[in-house]
Structure 1
């Protein structure tokens, strides 16, 4: 890629709603040099897209999206512009309204193909007419039986990290931010929503218009189509869900406006006007996806007691770290997720108290230790700044980015003090709003605006560029978890447990209790706990997951438990939960059982989950 300066002229007006006051934010002319990017064929220093006008038809009968993606571009004297494409049928391409030559290059299993379009010096616009195929990885088409209401089909997309290129030909790099408009035609009985300004009710002719005025990277362009309804929580927050789920979802997420206020009090105004959440069918592969204005969420967080809503706080925090300030490359993914876990924890502390926040942080700390052990033979993957060239960026989406990133920021906070840390982060988000940054630029900003300014010495380079966790890592403590550990020890010694002690435990305390079973726990002890607390039939998906993991590892089986594990794996598509349980089968040398379950469950999983489990189990 040539190291050329490109004058990216982006002039947009962003209307920000905050307590009924609208403030216009102007992103003006800015000279930008793009970094070398190993996960995109685009060469944005030569020619780059700035705005997308998407016009598509969603056909559930053929399970195909077809239409035209029209781009405004800035050309820096190049005779071609390169887009990313994977598993797409490209029908025709025009430049400035005239047909032009194009070529699809060699196919790469991870990256797909470069779509090279011939342009002229005065080309301001290109348009690509295309259709998706059965191999398109971002899309999951669900039949009616795979939904909550079981009356109509459903479709959703998942673009992170590099899957947007499988449903839109685009420059699929996080450092390339664009605005977009979209026209989406769907069956009349369904509603379409996107990461944009959204409808609140169905449109009679099934033609939906969308507008996203803030520039976002390609991985945040998202679409969902289904028989859904909307219910407001406040003027700027609300939820979408299928009818049978709507009231439950609304009650579960009723603190969303309080979360937004708490976040704004920490790090400045919410710059996306609307913060809504759509709860998708259970095959959605992640807990949540922070698509701007419309977070996608798994139904596994609907526990009936708001106990798992830290996920909403996490996706909200992404409105600053990730969406507002984005990692320039996937090697810098920790800048998205480490900051977001830190911010999420601060929101939870503001709303629910320090001990609740510390419980969440300690669970993350344990997840980090598990990840460090799993990556013991590839220590370079435990660095915050990664080198993922030649690999799928999905390889870096683990506890290192999330929990080591969080621990770095928490340790830094304890070093400099919370007041200075908060002022630093607030200024960081404001300065870099609607732009991208990388690890090296962050280190420079950190040194100049926090460490040197306050005459503080900190081992930043060790945290970021060395494997493992430095010795000065913050020590996280929770009185509640200490009491849980005492209760578990007493039970293991006496085979007795005082249910009065556990009566008011939070799900986080139960998770801590179950996941800390020692290898020597007996089947009789597990049966006693199951008889007492009915873990096998828990309505909390997180508790179910850790209990089923322990059941598999310790051989606590039988018709009731085995059938529940199979039902869980055939129903839930959340990758974290699914891979945890299949990994437990592998550790317990029960691969044959795992494969029998997987044969029936795989069709319910999004490609993100299925591809991971395929590799884990050697499934072909």
Structure 2
């Protein structure tokens, strides 16, 4: 998922439970119900995914064949999933799958003669986080097993939008969000990144809906309600994706383009025009792009994240389309996942930095190559400032790159600043110690060596020791490697980054705070989104309402179409009692469903009785258009505020 500074929300220092840090969930409380107290040494622990019931060391899915029907009226996917299996344990006679709120209607297994027999199955009770274990008895160890099922209208990994919730207002829309463990809510499967599989799908839908998947979407496909897909490269379950709605295609290059609603597609293609250049840069640095096409699907505003790196079809929020390409580093991030995450994948969510830290590093290198070192450095500074703010609040257990088993009750609850920013910072540390002439070839070969594999942190460490530390002694010690990966906080050896443009922004802010002199409009007219973000981020926690009014009159922050500015401005306005911004703030959080953009404002509002009421009233209106993931985050913030004793 998207993670660079232009997709960051205000850090936990301002909103300790925003639910949106780095477009991920807020850092979870390790002491929360269901979270074990971790004592095991992660360096010595077996490779086990505690967030999956499946038993991939006994039997493993090699291929998945889906037959699905999209029913907008019922808000349901129905059909079957057929698994081609590799029985690894000769004594195993059960296939265990992960499900969540799925109704299993029938299970059959293929015999050696090609005929199918009914199989006995049991669906266990529901765990709040993990869902329900589906156990299928397979005494004959069938090479293929088929599950016939239907999803719930409340599936956590699907969002169903009425026509009124879309850009065109004519056709309903549906899309998935499978990461971290939401794929199990729309397909019964071994929902762990330890298992990679190829897949095919045949999907039927109303004729006015175009269906797309994280597979070989044909830009010239007819919209006829009958679609077939194939993904020949093996992927983990969280990269399984589907969308259906009024979608058209606009090419960017021979191998890249944009899918979006008709009113959005040309604007999106213009905004993302540098996509092919990004692909060429990434290939030069890190090896060939191995997924054939790279298309971008621009979803309705309710999409809960900035982007999702579904292979061949990145899902992207429309909130980054602001007309000046200032937020297109999101594309660089999701594209970078084609190497770090999709090609080489973490084997469990505890090793999330292997996906997001590497991707944030690669993204920054792409940004530097295309837009200059200053642009890349500004992103580093903002993200690291947010990391520092978050680390003042969160448990040290969440500040390590390789999490200890049992640290999190829910894999959505990792510290995003750790897995994104600290992870990328660690790689910059290695880059500076060894030099790019050594580190770039190392990283390129790392992606090639582990291509289409899922690995734990220990595998990366072994590879780094053999191919960096041993081959270039005296540059980095094993103790330093250990400190970065297994110790909380940021090591003193972390490289420093400065930005002359941010120095000018700091001077302008200080002059205004000290003397009330607004920054010169000639200078601010040239400011990028990053500079405005830094300008607001550096403000005191609260200002006088009159000061906010002066800023608003000069720069029109209230009502801004730029979500990165809005998600910083409105919380500052709320904390400062600048009620003139309330209407614009409420409109913004009602219209946008992207968690990291709206949760800071909700979290600021609920701290006063008047603000809590505004939050509740706005949420009541906006809820039908929010994704279940966003809904859960808002509900949690409001519930905590309601439960807090009156002061």
Tell whether the structures are fold-level matches, with TM greater than 0.5: yes
Q: Partners of 2:46 and 2:103 in 1: how far apart?
A: 29
Cα displacement (A) at 1:448: 1.0
Q: What is the CA–CA distance in structure 2 between the aligned matches of 1:397 and 1:152, rounded to whole Å?
A: 37
The aligned residue for residue 315 of structure 1 is 334
- Is 1:336 paired with 2:336? no
Q: Measure how far apart 1:130 and its partner are.
A: 0.1
Contact map agreement 2:566 2:597 (CA 8 A) in 1: no
Q: Check whether the contact 1:56–1:67 (CA below 8 A) recurs between aligned residues.
A: yes
Give the structure-1-normalised TM-score: 0.92
Whole-angstrom CA distance in 2 between matches of 1:279 and 1:519: 34
CA distance in 2, matches of 1:529, 1:233: 39
Which among 43, 55, 59 is matched to residue 47 of structure 1? 59
Indicate if the aligned counterparts of 2:429 and 2:495 stay in contact, CA closer than 8 A.
yes
Report if the CA contact (8 A) 2:62-2:84 is conserved: yes
**CA distance 1:414–1:196, change in 2 (3 Å):** same
Structure 1 contact 277–295 (Cα < 8 Å) conserved: yes
1:82 is aligned to: 96
2:596 is the alignment partner of 1:576 = yes
Whole-angstrom CA distance in 1 between matches of 2:492 and 2:612: 38
Note the 1:149-548 alignment, pairs <5 A.
149-201=168-220, 203-375=222-394, 378-387=395-404, 389=406, 391-396=409-414, 398-455=416-473, 456-458=475-477, 459-497=480-518, 498-519=520-541, 521-548=543-570
Partner residue of 2:617 out of 587, 592, 596: 596
Number of positions where the alignment pairs a residue of Structure 1 with one of Structure 2: 584
Report the secondary structure of 2:392's partner residue: helix
What is the deviation of 1:563? 1.1
Work out which of the residue numbers 53, 56, 64 in structure 1 matches 2:76. Answer: 64
| Whole-angstrom distance in 1 between the partners of 2:259 and 2:405 | 36
- Give 1:552 deviation, angstroms: 1.3
Aligned-partner Cα distance in 2 for 1:122–1:557: 66
The 1:500/1:397 distance shift into structure 2, 3 A limit, reads: same
User: What is the rounded CA distance, in whole Å, between the counterparts of 1:486 and 1:572 in structure 2?
Assistant: 33
* Correspondent of 1:91 among 105, 114, 117: 105
Q: Could you tell me which runs of 5 or more consecutive residues in structure 1 were left unpaired when the two chains were aligned.
A: 1-32
Contact 1:233 1:254 in 2 (8 A): yes
- Deviation, 1:557, is 1.6
- 1:555 and 2:577 matched: yes
Confirm or deny: 8 A CA contact 2:586 2:614 kept in the other structure. Answer: no
The offset of 1:588, in angstroms, is 5.9
Instruction: Provide the C-alpha distance between the structure 2 equivalents of 1:409 and 1:326, rounded to a whole number of angstroms.
Output: 17
Which residue number in structure 1 is paired with residue 124 of structure 2? 105
8 Å CA contact 1:241–1:278 kept in 2: the answer is: yes
Counterparts of 1:271 and 1:554, CA distance in 2: 50
**Structure 2 CA distance for aligned equivalents of residues 504 and 524 of structure 1:** 26
> What is the CA deviation profile of residues 406-433 of structure 1, one whole-angstrom value per residue up to 9, with x for unaligned ones?
1111122111112211111001000000
Instruction: Work out whether residues 39 and 173 of structure 1, in 8 Å CA contact, stay in contact via their aligned partners in 2.
Output: yes
Shift of 1:158: 0.3
Deviations 1:565-585 (A, max 9, x none): 111111111111121211222
The offset of 1:602, in angstroms, is 2.2
CA drift of 1:492 comes to 1.2
Q: Is the 8 A contact 2:81 2:147 kept in 1?
A: yes
After alignment, is 336-345 or 583-592 more displaced?
583-592
Distance 1:180 1:327 in 2: 20
Give distance in 2, aligned partners of 1:123 and 1:191: 35
Distance 1:515 1:194 in 2: 38
Q: 1:314 to 1:304 in 2, by over 3 A?
A: same
CA distance in 2, matches of 1:53, 1:138: 19
The one-character-per-residue Cα deviations of 1:259-280 (angstroms, maximum 9, x if unpaired) are 0001111100000010000000
Q: Deviations over 1:287-324 (max 9, x none)?
A: 00000000000000001010000000000000000000
* CA positional deviation for 1:121: 4.2
Q: Does the Cα contact within 8 Å between 1:286 and 1:298 map onto a contact in 2?
A: yes
CA distance in 2, matches of 1:387, 1:593: 40
Distance 1:547 1:597 in 2: 18
Task: Report the Cα distance in structure 2 between the residues aligned to 1:75 and 1:305, rounded to whole angstroms.
Answer: 53
Alignment partners' CA distance in 2, 1:92 and 1:171: 18
Q: How far is the alpha carbon of 1:397 from its aligned partner?
A: 5.3
CA RMSD of aligned residues (A): 1.6
Kindly provide the CA deviation profile for residues 537-564 of structure 1, in whole angstroms up to 9, marking residues without a partner as x: 2221211221112111211122xx1111
Higher relative contact order (CA 8 A, sep 6+): 2
* 1: CA distance, partners of 2:328 / 2:117: 51
Shift of 1:156: 0.2
Whether contact under 8 Å (2:175, 2:244) holds in the other structure is yes
Shift of 1:34: 8.9
Q: 1:214 to 1:605 in 2, by over 3 A?
A: same
